[in-house]
Amino acid sequence: MTSDAGVHSYSAVLMGSPILLKLFEDNPTLASQVFRLIKQQENLFTVNRAASEVMAINHAAGRHPVVVSAPVFELISVAHAVSILPDSAFNFTIGPVVKRWKIGFQGREVPPAAEIEALLRLTDPHQVVLDAEQHSVFLPLPGMEIDLGAIAKGYIADVVQAFLRQQGVAQALINLGGNVQTLGSPPHQPQGWGIGLKKPFGRDDELLGTLQVQGKSVVTSGIYERYFERDGRCWHHIFDPHTGYPLDNELLSVTVIADRSLDGDIYTTLLYGMGPEQGLAYLAGQPDIDAVFVTRDRQIICSPARHFRFSQLDFSWQLRH
């Protein structure tokens, strides 16, 4: 725990990610409860260990449906709905591809093209059978695997926010390794929380700017968090579900500002696939969602800022509204 100007910060490592909780009271008991809650949620959704509710579905692929708890069924239903949107870059059955590339894990490599081709046949989200009455999920082909890595941290950030609210906390921030969710504004800072926008491939303290938000979630997906370099290319962990290779476009990161961190997590992946131009056009019809795109040609592109204020810090990048 560290304390600075009334802020009490508590940290942990969960879900392979640094977790940071900021409170405005010295309350290690509450912090432990929050970390325990995250751990419980991780145990439901993880695909990085042999046993979880999601792994039970994956282990039964090609054999039988698996009945899961209501929250797991709900999150899978949301992930399914987003995955079958027309031209969606989001695909929750991307598991076999993610597992084969192992980006961010030991043994990462560029798999042979023929293997990727074969694995892609196991990633059709339309084939997943959901039974809303039984709360069961069935993957009809052996080898199919659900991966909620692009959505579960967002969901869990919202669970933490609801828990803190229920505990009577009015001002807090939780950061689940890139998924920030907030409650209220810090004391004496009516303009809200200042959330740093990281300089891609920069040091931890190098920021392009800060986003000011009140009671909003700020979620960033970037190609600079989990990647490796081979053959002069950067192979990162956000895959194009149509090719099985990392998404290759002009983006370095996408940040989404939304009420729910779940939406932030969904939209970062969707917008990543769209790219900035199509993404901005799409957001014109989504009044509750804002985004900041950071591009390879050093531009910071903000959607019409309805729910945040951006303060630029690094002026060697060009800001566009």
What is the contact surface with Mg ion in residues (CB under 5 A)? Answer: 150, 221, 265, 268-269
Q: Which stretch binds ligand FAD (CB under 6 A): 20-28, 126-134, 237-245, 290-298?
A: 237-245
Span from 29-37, 86-94, 128-136, 292-300 in contact with ligand FAD (CB under 6 A)? 86-94
Which residue do the tokens 């566009």 mark? Answer: 320
Among Mg ion, ligand FAD, none, residue 99 binds (CB under 5-8 Å by kind): none
Q: Does 98 bind ligand FAD (CB under 6 A)?
A: yes
- Candidate list 145, 158, 263, 265; residue touching ligand FAD; CB under 6 A: 265
Give the residue among 16, 165, 31, 154 at the shortest CA–CA distance from 82: 154
Residue type, 267: Y
Residue 241 within binding range of ligand FAD, rule CB under 6 A? yes
φ, ψ of residue 20 to 5 degrees: the values are -130, 130
Q: Which is nearer to ligand FAD, 216 or 237 (CB)?
A: 237
Rounded-to-integer distance, Cα 169 and Cα 303, Å? 31
Closer of 42 and 290 to ligand FAD (Cβ): 42
* Sign of the alpha-carbon torsion through 217, 237, 201, 320: negative
Question: Given candidates 269, 290, 294, 310, which one binds ligand FAD under the rule CB under 6 A?
Answer: 269
Q: Among 125, 131, 101, 135, which Cα is nearest to 115's?
A: 101
Contact between 48 and ligand FAD per CB under 6 A: yes
The minimum distance between CB 147 and Mg ion, in angstroms, equals 11
C-alpha distance from residue 186 to each of 2, 182, 297, 313 (Å): 16, 10, 35, 21
* Residue with smaller CB distance to ligand FAD, 23 or 53: 53
- Cα gap 26→4, rounded to integer Å: 11
Q: How far apart are CA 76 and CA 96, in angstroms?
A: 17
Would you tell me which residues interact with ligand FAD (CB under 6 A)? 15-17, 42, 45-46, 48, 89-92, 94, 98, 104, 147, 149-150, 152-153, 178-179, 221, 225-226, 237-239, 241, 265, 268-269
